[in-house]
């Protein structure tokens, strides 16, 4: 089955990129032929090219058409180009999207994961994430779509529009437990709570990515702090924890507020090889669970708290949330892994039932 995959444009965000990678691999493992719909924001480069360097821009695009231009970091852009394929040519706005689907046939279209249901749209793709432009005879699904909160964050005037579209879906699945209630109460749609796609594929995929990086990784006596929204209080607490545990410490963010960006290979490898991880990232927590890595997390309310509470509750890991102190409680990984397998089976059943 040929399946179009729709998610946010891939920018300097490890979680956003790796969930797209995982969604593609998951569908391939199920025997389908996924194609990532290559959303990109209208770029300054594109506008300038129309007036100043059109000839050179087109030459550049002809040689590097699969590179995501919204990615500022060349290492992350390279990862997208190499590991996430096949992709469509860049699609910059709703009209491009409609034209593409008019001229290409798919058996199914899957939207997700990430916070694609927060407003059911994105800059230049307003209201497109409820798939109103997709033909009736195409299977429409959401997989692990997130509202980013315990409510729909878009304009209330659009609710009826999206309600009509979502009721055309063969199946709706969401990434947070609260999303099930939002679907029912706001859009009159039944849904199911499933795992993020990164937790659905074999960890061997990630180990292969780590192995492909030929540079030396940090030693395993390191505390890796992946903190998207750092401040002095968090930094001091993390440093104190590292000192008490006699661990070296390294901290990075997602690269959008800083030039401190590492490659995807090193990001995954840094979690895998760390002695301990402290993060305020949803996917930072996810990969600690995948690799059975001791971790603690700050609830990042700015970027959406529900996803943390839902994930940690699913695995009985609420104690990993940092309050006044950082707990020393040891994680029972056998119980966590058993819960992971149960939820994998449930999530996989959703896809196999609807993609037929």
What is this structure's pTM?
0.90
Mean pLDDT of 87-111: 97
Q: What is the pLDDT of residues 58-72, one digit of tens each?
A: 344 444 444 333 566
**E strand residue ranges, 240-337:** 248-252, 276-279, 295-297
Residue 337 phi, psi (nearest 5): -65, -35
Would you state the pLDDT for residue 217?
Answer: 61
- More confidently predicted of 64 and 85: 85
> Which range has the worst mean pLDDT, 49-53, 105-109, 263-267?
49-53
Tokens of 173: 């699945």
List the domain boundaries for the chain.
2-200+343-354, 203-339
Would you state the pLDDT for residue 218?
Answer: 59
Taking 90 as the threshold, does the pLDDT of residue 26 lie above it?
Answer: yes
Mean pLDDT of 18-26: 98
Would you state the pLDDT for residue 123?
Answer: 94
Q: Closest Cα to residue 326, out of 213, 211, 221, 247?
A: 247
Cis-peptide into 85, omega within 30 deg: no
Q: Closest Cα to residue 314, out of 273, 285, 271, 355?
A: 285
Residue 143 has a CB neighbour count (10 Å cut-off) of: 29
- More confidently predicted of 53 and 304: 304
Would you state the pLDDT for residue 325?
Answer: 83
What is the layout of strands, in order, in the sheet containing 192-193? Answer: 33-36, 2-6, 108-111, 139-145, 171-174, 192-193
Q: Closest Cα to residue 290, out of 246, 226, 333?
A: 333
Mean pLDDT of 187-196: 98
Taking 70 as the threshold, does the pLDDT of residue 174 lie above it?
Answer: yes
Gyration radius of the chain over CA positions? 20
Would you state the pLDDT for residue 63?
Answer: 42
Contact between 130 and 152 under an 8 Å Cβ cutoff? The reply is no
Would you state the pLDDT for residue 56?
Answer: 45
Mean pLDDT of 192-217: 92
> Which range has the worst mean pLDDT, 62-76, 83-97, 181-195, 216-230?
62-76
Alpha carbons 341 and 40: distance in angstroms, whole number? 35
Let me know the angle formed at the C-alpha of 355 by 349 and 356, rounded to the nearest 5 degrees: 105
Q: What is the pLDDT of residues 223-232, one digit of tens each?
A: 999 999 888 9
Tokens of 269: 């490898």
Same fold for the domain at 2-200+343-354 and the one at 203-339? yes
| Level-2 CATH architecture, domain 203-339 | 3-Layer(aba) Sandwich (3.40)
- Alpha-helical (H) ranges within 104-146 are none
Q: What is the pLDDT of residues 277-301, one digit of tens each?
A: 999 999 999 999 999 999 999 998 8
Let me know if 323 is exposed, middle or buried by CB neighbors in 10 A (0-12, 13-18, 19+). Answer: exposed
Alpha carbons 159 and 295: distance in angstroms, whole number? 38
Per-position b or e across 106-125, b if 16+ CB within 10 A of its CB: bebbbbbbbbbbbbbbbebb
Q: What separation in angstroms does the CA of 50 have from each of 23, 57, 68, 119, 352? A: 35, 9, 19, 31, 45
Q: What is the pLDDT of residues 141-155, one digit of tens each?
A: 999 999 999 999 988
Sign of CA dihedral 253, 256, 258, 262: positive
Would you state the pLDDT for residue 260?
Answer: 65
Q: Within its chain, how far is the Cα of 323 from the centroid? A: 26
Alpha carbons 47 and 27: distance in angstroms, whole number? 35
Mean pLDDT of 258-272: 86
pLDDT band at 140; cut points 50, 70, 90: very high
**Topology (CATH) of 2-200+343-354:** Rossmann fold (3.40.50)
Alpha carbons 37 and 316: distance in angstroms, whole number? 35
Would you state the pLDDT for residue 328?
Answer: 85
What is the percent of the chain where pLDDT is above 90? Answer: 77
Give the chain's mean pLDDT: 89
């Amino acid at each position: 089955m040929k399946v179009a995959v729709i998610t946010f444009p891939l920018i300097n965000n490890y979680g956003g990129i790796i969930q797209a990678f995982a969604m593609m691999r998951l569908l391939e493992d199920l025997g389908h032929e996924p194609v990532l719909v290559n959303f990109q924001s209208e770029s300054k480069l594109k506008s300038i090219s129309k007036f100043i360097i059109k000839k050179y821009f087109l030459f550049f695009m002809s040689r590097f058409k699969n590179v995501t231009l919204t990615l500022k970091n060349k290492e992350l852009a390279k990862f997208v180009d190499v590991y996430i394929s096949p992709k469509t040519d860049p699609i910059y706005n709703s009209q491009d999207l409609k034209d593409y689907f008019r001229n290409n046939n798919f058996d199914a279209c899957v939207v997700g994961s990430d916070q694609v249901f927060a407003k059911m749209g994105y800059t230049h793709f307003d209201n497109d994430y409820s798939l109103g432009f997709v033909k009736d005879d195409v299977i429409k699904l959401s997989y692990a779509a997130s509202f980013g909160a315990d409510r729909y964050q878009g304009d209330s005037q659009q609710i009826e529009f999206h309600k009509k579209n979502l009721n055309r879906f063969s199946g709706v699945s969401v990434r947070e437990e609260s999303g099930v209630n939002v679907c029912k109460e706001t859009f009159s749609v039944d849904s199911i709570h499933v795992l993020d796609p990164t937790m659905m594929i074999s960890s061997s995929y990630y180990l292969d990515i780590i192995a492909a990086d030929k540079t030396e990784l940090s030693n395993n006596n390191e505390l890796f702090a992946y903190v998207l929204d750092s401040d002095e209080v968090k930094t001091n607490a993390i440093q104190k924890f590292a000192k008490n545990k006699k661990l070296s410490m390294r901290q990075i963010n997602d690269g959008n507020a800083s030039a401190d960006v590492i490659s995807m290979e090193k990001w995954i490898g840094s979690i895998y090889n760390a002695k301990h991880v402290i993060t305020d990232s949803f996917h930072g927590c996810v990969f600690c669970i995948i690799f059975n890595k001791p971790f603690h997390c700050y609830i990042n309310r700015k970027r959406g708290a529900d996803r943390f509470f839902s994930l940690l509750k699913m695995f009985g890991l609420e104690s990993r949330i940092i309050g006044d102190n950082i707990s020393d409680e040891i994680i029972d990984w056998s119980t966590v892994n058993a819960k992971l397998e149960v939820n994998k089976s449930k999530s996989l059943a959703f896809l196999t039932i609807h993609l037929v």
